[in-house]
Structure 1
Amino acid sequence: MKKVLSIFLILFPVFFLPDLRAQQPPMSKEEFRSRQQEFITRRAGLTQEEAQKFFPLYFELQDKKGKLNREAWQNMRQGKDPNTTEAEYARIVEDMIQARITNDKLDLEYVRKYKKFLSAKKIYDIQKAEMRFHRELLKSAHHGEKGRPGNKEKR
């Protein structure tokens, strides 16, 4: 009986106390973009002039892609209805593929805009930094505030 009680007392905080990380307020859009801009600027080695030209276009692209993705998710939610017909599923599937194609076309359009003031190497470095930022952001969900992107030095 003492063993059971001891195990219960040890495990009680794990199962019944709220996770402290869950109490952190979510990052605002402005904070997210600020951290992302700082991270990408540092990791890609952008000059101040390059960053001033790049980020307005970059965030414009992100807004367009965000709108497109929200619309695509709305279409996907229609498929949750148990009365969805086969024709509706076919339309949903095609709409999802079209959304990905449109996203890719937007990426290409904006890369061409970036090429007017950035080298291909800088664009590559930006894309690499962006992927790293998102990877660290996902990791931070498991490690709390200290793991948020931008808080670590370049590796």
Structure 2
Amino acid sequence: MTRFLARPVLLVALLLLGSLGARAQSGVRQRPSQRLENARIAYITDKIALTPEQAQRFWPLFNEFTDKRRDLRKQTKMGLRGQDFSAMSDKDIRAALDEQFKLRQGEINLEKEYVDKFAKVISLRQVAQLMQAERDFTRELIQRLDNRRAASGALSGQE
């Protein structure tokens, strides 16, 4: 029965993507990041079988979570990047590492907080499916990029 409900949601998502594509062809080009985001929304909506009512409450919450997680990940990446550890004291190295641990723990805490928030608008089963769908989407995206690179490498090797 849940799959039955997911089909209209998927259809709406695909129609939305189609209309965005039509707009892009009419002169307003869609950014690749926006196309990727639209594909991710359609993928997750299908995988966790959101009803239209759930989707209306879920997506603003998920977008809020995604923004906060993106900010934490950006801070984590910037923390150790470009550090010259050979010129740092042990005390400074320890402080830099502790800051990294704090940021990574912050991401875990954020996920725990939002699991509770998500569970108020979708079922726990859907929350678990969401976590799996995010990993699967990322895995599929990486695989497609690898395939594209391999194909472009094979084409350039033939010339």
Instruction: Name the residue aligned to 2:95.
Output: 91
1-structure distance, mates of 2:39, 2:57: 17
2:108 pairs with 1:104: yes
- 2:11 maps to which residue? none
**Unaligned 5+ runs, structure 2:** 1-30, 150-159
- The residue matched to 2:87 in structure 1 has which SS? coil
Matched with 1:125 is: 129
Structure with bigger RCO (C-alpha 8 Å, 6+ apart): 1
Mapped to 1, the partners of 2:125 and 2:114 lie a distance apart of 15
1:137 pairs with one of 138, 141, 150:
141
TM-score normalised per structure 1: 0.70
Deviation of the 1:63 alpha carbon:
1.0
TM-score by length of 2: 0.68
CA deviation map 1:68-94 (0-9, x unaligned): 111122211252364222222111111
- Match for 1:49 among 50, 53, 67? 53
More helix as a share of residues: 2
- Residues in 2 aligned to 1:116 and 1:92: alpha-carbon distance in whole angstroms: 37
Considering only CA atoms, is the larger Rg found in Structure 1 or Structure 2?
1
Unaligned runs of 5+ in 1: 1-26, 146-155
**Count of residue pairs brought into register by the alignment:** 119
Q: CA RMSD in A?
A: 1.8
Identity %: 24
1:70 pairs with 2:71: no
Write the distance in 2 (CA, Å) between the matches of 1:142 and 1:40: 22
Counterparts of 2:58 and 2:67, CA distance in 1:
14
